[in-house]
Amino acid sequence: MAIINFNSISGVSTISVASSITVGNNVSIGTDRVTATNFIGNITGSVTGIASTARSLTSSATGSDLTLTTGLTVGNAFIRPTSVGIGQTDTKGRDAGIGTVTGSVIYNTTTQTVQIWNGLRWGNIGESFISATGGIINDYVSGGNVYRTHTFTSSGTFTVNTASTIPSNNSLDYLVVAGGGAGGAGGPSGNMGGAGGGAGGLRVSFPGHPLSGPAFTVSTPNTSYVVTVGAGGAGVGGPANGNNGSDSYFGPPSPPAGITATGGGGGGRETGNPGGPGNVGGSGGGGGRNVSGANGNNPPYTPSQGNPGGAGDNGASGGGGGGAGGAGGNASGPNVTSGVGGVGSQVLIAGPPSSTQILGTPGPNPGGGYFAGGGGSGGSTATPQTNGGAGGGAPGYFGTTALTTAPSGTYATGGGGGGGGAAGPPYIVNSGSGGSGIVVLRYLIGGLAATAKATGGLISYSGGTTIHTFLSSGTFTITDPSLTSVDYLVVGGGGGGGAGLSAANIGQGGGGGAGGFRTGSGLPVSSSPGVYSVQVGAGGNRGIAPSGTVSSSGTPSIFSTITSQGGGAGANYPSVAAQPGGSGGGAAYNGSLTPGGTGNRETGTSTPAPSQGNNGGSDDGNAPLYIAGGGGGAGGAGGNGLGATPGSGAGGNGLASAISGTSITYAGGGGGGQGGAPPTSPSPAGGPGGGGAGGTGTTPGTAGTVNLGAGGGGGGNDGAPANLGGNGAPGGSGIVIIAYPS
């Protein structure tokens, strides 16, 4: 082997070497050439001798540039002074292993596009993606693709800021689930139970799902779409059919151009033999005694949005409510060996099951991500409760238990409510309400927006900020030691609205107080140990008029050293006072002027807490409209029950925060209940921030919005034993949001 070692050579015509030239610094060859098998070093000039694949041209570890005057060709790729030709292959060849190195670029002859491997997926050069806002945003990786989801557990707006230049990237997958139907109520005798409520209709576009329909396409930038999340049907006292759930919708402002899912049908009542038929809906309610279940998929869609309810038996019980994945079970015999709720459907649109446990409930089947399960039927004997279907369906209850209200379907699942049991004096078991619906939208993005420095909650990105949103309790774990401080929003669970327990016109319940609202920046955190428990407070229970059940306060939300107290319960007529809390509950109208609960307090104590809320409103001691006080809110006190002023007794205002990337108002107080026969003014409104409205003599209060820490509305007067106008409404659960620079 011949080796020439030199530091510099210039002005020669040709150097011919059989094997190699090792260059220390530089070889400069005027306009002529160097011919050799192998070159190692920094060479400038006209070079030949590299055409054979047995030869190579490299630079040393300390070398820099290789300058070629004519070009370089390798297979079908080349470099020329005026152009570059990259390697060509088809999709099959690409997937066989090309591009294992991030940054590899090919020309795909199958798609006729230039593509780059970003370490997760092949994307087209110049590819663009949707940019949108609305709901709770989360990114996740699946099958080498990166997806973004927008989750709505309450109504809102989905705004497309920019659309993709590639039509296929403008496709949205979706899950639209309506509110579930309430269960039917049991009869006054000892042997008849109500039927289960049907699940809310479920409509989905998700590759591989058996119920998947076509995707929804967006192509116009700066366009807003309506998102309506249906409420669950309200539970009823016996004997009565359950109320249907409300529809959910996604699409342009004018239906039916978008996607509508129909509310679940209410379960059948029990009044004798036969009982009442269930109601038709997205999924049908179960039939009452000796009656077939109601039809699902009403109105009809292809693929189907739900299934029929089960039939009641000839003895004691109604059938189970239908679910998105199966019909409700038929009742069988007085001990109800069936009548279970129809199974829901698993839709992993928001990621693997571990990522969707807060969005779907496993029920009796393993794994998360289930939606639209039917409610179980009620019964008459002291046998175990009848199961609801996986996907938020509530169990039915029995008249011989001491419970007065069957469980409700799980929120944000569209689950049906449980059927009420038979009376078995002294118990008349009211039916459970349906669970609220949900809307989830998903689309492809080009890559992860950022790398999170911690785990826990739903992770999203906005304006250079990483956001962890906890809708239920969990753990925030730091994975990057550079994270030393965070911003936070901690909102406690809202208080339940009080009941108006009087059969006259003068028993109204106070509105529930909002959960405590605390927010700040620069809270110190440490990666040693770096594990922080997060508690998201539950909303307080409602007051129930027929049974005399009183309302309860919400529970605290906690992150690190920050505790936001639960909202105070609204007062219950005639003798249970409003409770203190993050914000205080409103006073009940009882014929004498009474103050509301104190805000900015730890529940059950007089100890001031860090600023987080306001007082509840007082009742009116002498008013023709009999209006109770509204619950306090984070931004203002609850309204006083001034009967001479229509709309008074309203819930206190909440406060807005943009920590999630979008300005959202949290922690509104619940409106107080009002009386009159019939009512002579509008129901007192809930405070901005999700507060529920107060009830009237014929309409119960409405619930505080979940994950806003809102107070529930107070009940109106009870009017008659079967009239639920005196019922209050539950408070909304709280929320914890943690944010830091990406």
Residue type, 213: G
116 vs 126: CA distance, rounded Å: 10
* Average predicted confidence (pLDDT) for the chain: 79
What's the pLDDT at 271? 72
| Residue that is last in its domain, among 448, 478, 501 | 448
pLDDT confidence band for 243 (50 / 70 / 90):
very high
pLDDT at residue 290, rounded to an integer: 83
Q: Is 464 left (phi over 0), alpha (psi -120 to 50) or beta?
A: left
Nearest one of 515, 502, 434, 539 to 727, comparing CA atoms = 502
CA distance 344 to 306: 9
Query: Which range has the worst mean pLDDT, 199-213, 224-238, 456-470?
Result: 456-470
Summarize the confidence of residues 193-208 as an average pLDDT. 93
CA-to-CA dists, residue 566 to 47, 215, 441, 576, 652, angstroms = 80, 41, 31, 18, 15
Task: Determine the 3-state secondary structure of 711 from DSSP.
Answer: coil
Q: To which H or E segment does residue 74 belong?
A: strand 72-74
Residue 174 CA to residue 418 CA, distance in Å, equals 28
| Contact of 399 with 431, CB cutoff 8 Å | no
Examine the fold and report which residue of 391, 415, 448 is the final residue of a domain before the chain moves on: 448
* Residue 454 falls in which region: left (phi positive, over 0), alpha (psi -120 to 50) or beta: beta
Pair 654, 568 in one domain: yes
Are residues 440 and 579 located together in one domain of the fold?
Answer: no
How many CB atoms are closer than 10 A to CB 124? 17
Q: For residues 399 and 173, give the distance between their C-alpha atoms in angstroms, rounded to a whole number.
A: 44
SS3 labels along 583-599: CCCCCCECCCCCCCCCC
- Rounded Cα–Cα distance for residues 409 and 395 (Å): 8
What is the reported pLDDT for 249? Answer: 97
Nearest Cα neighbor of 233 from 280, 289, 274, 301 is 280
CA distance 293 to 195: 9
Residue whose C-alpha is closest to residue 250's, from 317, 142, 130, 157:
157
Q: Is the pLDDT of residue 560 over 90?
A: yes
- Characterize the bridge pairing of strands 454-455 and 223-228: unpaired
567: pLDDT strictly greater than 50: yes
pLDDT at 665: 92
Final residue belonging to a domain, choices 124, 157, 174: 124
Tens-digit pLDDT profile for residues 129-160: 888 999 888 777 665 577 888 989 889 999 99
Q: Is the peptide bond before 299 cis (omega within 30 degrees of 0)?
A: yes
- The rounded distance, in Å, linking the Cα atoms of 234 and 74 is 72
Co-location of 522 and 594 in the same domain: yes
Enclosing H/E stretch for 80: strand 77-80
How far is residue 715 from each of residues 449, 596, 700, measured CA to CA in Å? 47, 16, 5
- Three-state secondary-structure class, residue 253: coil
Q: What pTM, to 2 d.p., does this model score?
A: 0.61
Structure-token pair, residue 712: 């529930």
Q: What percent of the chain has pLDDT over 70?
A: 71
CA 276 to chain centre: 35
Q: In angstroms, what is the C-alpha Rg of the chain?
A: 33
How much is the pLDDT for 552? 95
Listed range (28-37, 215-224, 445-454) with the worst mean pLDDT: 28-37
pLDDT score at 622 = 62
Rounded CA separation 340/277 (Å): 17
426 shares a domain with 513: no
Name 15's Cβ contacts closer than 8 Å, sequence gap at least 6. 4, 9, 21, 29, 34, 35, 36
pLDDT tens column, 594-625:
889 999 865 555 556 678 999 999 987 666 66
pLDDT digits (tens, 9 = 90+) for 61-108: 344 455 556 667 777 777 777 777 777 887 667 766 554 576 778 887
Torsion sign, CA atoms 131, 132, 138, 140? negative
The yes-or-no verdict on residue 504 having pLDDT over 60 is: no
C-alpha angle 625/626/627, rounded to 5°? Answer: 100
- Which of 155-159, 497-501, 637-641 is predicted least confidently? 497-501
Do 221 and 117 belong together in one domain? no
What is the rounded CA–CA span in Å between residue 589 and residue 227?
A: 37
Distance between start and end Cα atoms, the chain: 57
Decide if 479 contacts 526 (C-beta within 8 A): no
* Listed residue (118, 56, 101, 108) closest to 87, CA to CA: 108
Claim to verify: residue 505 and residue 616 sit in the same structural domain: yes
In this predicted structure, what is the pLDDT of residue 131?
Answer: 87
Q: Which domain holds residue 103?
A: 3-124
For residues 582 and 545, state if they share a domain: yes
pLDDT at 7 over 70: no
Q: Is the pLDDT of residue 688 over 50?
A: yes
Q: What is the 3-state secondary structure (H, E, C) of 407-464?
A: CCCCCCCCCCCCCCCCCCCCCCCECCCCCCCEEEEEEEECCCCCCCCEECCEEEEECC
pLDDT at 312 exceeding the cut of 70: yes
Q: Do 435 and 453 fall into the same domain? A: no
Of the candidate ranges 41-50, 208-217, 226-235, 528-537, the one whose mean pLDDT is the lowest: 41-50
Q: Is the pLDDT of residue 291 over 80?
A: yes
Q: Could you give the number of structural domains in the chain?
A: 3
Quick: pLDDT tens for 363-405.
333 335 889 999 998 876 544 567 888 889 988 877 554 456 7
pLDDT of residue 707: 87
How many angstroms separate the Cα of 599 from the Cα of each of 167, 619, 665? 53, 16, 18
| Residue 710: pLDDT band with limits 50, 70, 90 | very high
Are 386 and 406 within 8 A, CB to CB? no
Whether residues 221 and 151 fall in one domain: yes
- Looking at the structure, do residues 359 and 414 belong to the same domain, yes or no? yes
Residue 190 has pLDDT above 70, yes or no: no
Residues 467 and 430 in one domain: no
Q: Are 202 and 210 in contact (CB under 8 A)?
A: no
153 and 82 share one domain: no
Pick 161 or 351 by higher pLDDT: 161
Regarding predicted confidence, which is higher, 233 or 378? 233
Q: Strands 83-85 and 77-80: what pairing?
A: antiparallel
Strands of the sheet containing 485-491, edge to edge, are 458-462, 465-470, 735-741, 485-491, 517-524
| pLDDT band of 540, cuts 50, 70, 90 | very high
Q: What tokens were used for 563?
A: 């505790």
